[in-house]
Chain A
């Protein structure tokens, strides 16, 4: 057992998960001295009609709820500016963000503006130093853990502060059903990458391990069931919970290669981040295990259970984890139309080179461009790095 000499862990997020979790929102808001929330979502989520479940939780409060469903594909300053004006004269005191990605980024951006000054949105990423207004994140079928994280991506700016993490995360079975097995696979791959890199990274600590372990176990037990039957409430709920756990672990860890490359590929619009991370996962974890001192073996217990962990000789545990990840990738790819390699989706090697260059420029991990390129090339050919 390794006891870290020093670590920091910060997770101010309260989680309400399970049957009727939504109905607890009013009393939770009241505990935060908030009574008039604004619901922020996107058109896709609104058109599914699930916002009515959130609204019905306020049936006894007698208030009129404001709902904004104009969040686009990415969070932008102009939307936040419009919302800020609405906030000023509607007496709103808290935010309920229903959805994932841009919805949460917009909610976090609005929270920065209304809790301090709107100009704070133009300052540098480390400018948020105090508690913000109450923020509730209601996860939907496409949540991937970023919602819970301390990051907000608004336009070209990235904000990082533990105060950006929501005060409350709600995972309700009525909200997390997904129509598409492919989207489930994509979000699960992001969750898996976040949990796997949090568990194996040098900055890991016993508390982030707890979150990441639980997330991996949920994925192990529920992912294939959810892919076979995307309308299955239990497995979709479990995957949404896993994404929030992985988000907490990820917020207390450094970015790993899979995350960095996956995000950059999505940013350059070559592939969605879920698909990119799904392709990169075995190669990124393998490289970091071989060259960066990652302990892939730390993932073995949540992936196979304690008995199989004990049965695996210590010197074979890293290899076993890598083969399990490859096996999982195969299973997913044969169940849904998820690409196995970058060659399958015809991304040219030249473009991958640009991705490696860009990530190496912006990364604080000190990993060199050729290392990123090795992983990308292995993921292009679909061949393990060690051959």
Chain B
């Protein structure tokens, strides 16, 4: 049967590495932003102690895991989900969907509307996490790019954006 052949698809290594780096940095930035921005802190205050969420790519990752410890502090818990109890598990359906999201070709809102995001857990909590990620993106990205990544750019004062941005970058790089 010469008409039959077998194909082994190649792994998309570059895209995987890019998304892993982005998730790593966004995870650390969420931790930093929860200590810098009062709106983000307020969102996390509503989550119970020990709450953990994960954002990543189906089926094999990469992932980021963020949690709230007993003292109420938000912590980036790394990329490994093994042995962790995940309360809200958010997965992009595939690496291409994640690439569209993390290259800001598609906003979180649009990605979700296009059914590229799977949520396993409480939906209002997932919506709060998306709000947090949106705010973190406003801090991390220049306005021009952030406008592509989020649905509506907030009308924050320039001082809040600039000072918050430097503090979040500083904390995210140093990891505290």
- Real complex partners, A and B? yes
Q: Could you tell me which A residues sit within 8 Å of B by CB distance?
A: 18-20, 23-24, 26-27, 30, 51, 55-61, 64-70, 82, 86
Rounded to whole angstroms, the CA-CA distance of A82 and B116 in the bound complex is 37
Which of chain A's residues have a CB closer than 8 A to the CB of B9?
Answer: 55-59, 61, 65
Task: Assess whether B30 is interfacial by the CB under 8 Å rule.
Answer: no
Interface residue count for B (Cβ, 8 Å)?
A: 24
**Are B100 and A20 within 8 A (Cβ)?**
yes
State which residues 93-119 of B face A: CB under 8 Å: 93-97, 100, 114, 116, 118
Chain A: minimal CB distance from B8 (Å): 5
* Closest chain B residue to A24, Cβ basis: B93
Q: A19-B100, A20-B97, A26-B94 are in contact. Are A59 and B58 (CB under 8 A)?
A: no
| C-alpha gap A184/B142 in the complex (Å) | 44
User: Is there an interface contact between B114 and A27, defined as CB atoms closer than 8 Å?
Assistant: no
Determine which of A23, A55, A86 lies in contact with B96 in the assembled complex, contact meaning CB atoms within 8 Å. Answer: A23
Nearest B residue to A86 via CB reads B4
Give the residue name and chain of the A residue nearest to B10 (CB): A59
Is the beta-carbon distance between B6 and A68 smaller than 8 angstroms? no
Q: Looking at the assembled complex, report how far the CB atom of A61 sits from the nearest CB atom of chain B, in whole angstroms.
A: 7
The DSSP consensus for interface residues of chain A is: mixed
B97 near A60 with CB under 8 A, answer no
**Complex alpha-carbon distance, A26 and B1, angstroms:** 26
Cβ of B7 and Cβ of A20 under 8 Å apart? Answer: no
Neighbouring A residues of B95 by C-beta, 8 Å: 23, 59-60
Bound Cα distance A65, B4 (Å): 10
Chain A residues with Cβ under 8 A from B11's Cβ?
59-60
Which B residues are within 8 Å of any A CB, using their own CB?
1-12, 58-60, 93-97, 100, 114, 116, 118
Q: Which 6 A-B pairs have the closest CB atoms?
A: A70-B3, A23-B96, A23-B94, A59-B9, A20-B96, A55-B9
Whether B60 and A66, one on each chain, are in contact in the complex, defined by CB atoms closer than 8 angstroms, is no
Q: Which residue of B is nearest A57, CB measured?
A: B94
Known contacts A20-B97, A24-B94, then 4 further A-B pairs from the complex at CB < 8 Å, ordered by chain A residue: A59-B10, A59-B11, A60-B11, A70-B1
Secondary structure type dominating chain B contacts: loop
The minimal Cβ–Cβ distance linking A228 to chain B, given in whole angstroms, is 28
Verify A65–B6 contact, CB threshold 8 A. Answer: yes
CA distance A206 to B97 in the complex (A): 35
- Chain B residues with CB below 8 A from A18, complex form: 114
CA distance A70 to B6 in the complex (A): 14
6 residue pairs bridging A and B, Cβ less than 8 Å apart: A20-B96, A23-B93, A26-B59, A26-B94, A59-B95, A64-B7
Closest beta carbon of chain A to B131's beta carbon, Å: 25
Greatest chain B CB density within 10 A among A18, A27, A67 is at A27
Bound Cα distance from A20 to B95, whole angstroms:
10
Q: Tell me the bound Cα distance from A86 to B10 in angstroms.
A: 24
Question: Closest Cβ of chain B: how far from A173's Cβ, in Å?
Answer: 13
B97: chain A residues within 8 A (beta carbon): 20, 23-24
CB distance from A251 to the nearest CB of B (A): 24
In the complex with contacts A23-B97, A26-B94, A55-B7 CB distance below 8 A? yes
Q: Which residue of A lies closest to B93 (CB)?
A: A27
B6/A67 in contact, CB under 8 A: yes
A24 CA to B60 CA in the complex, in Å? 14
Residues of A contacting B5 in the complex (Cβ-Cβ under 8 angstroms): 66-67, 69
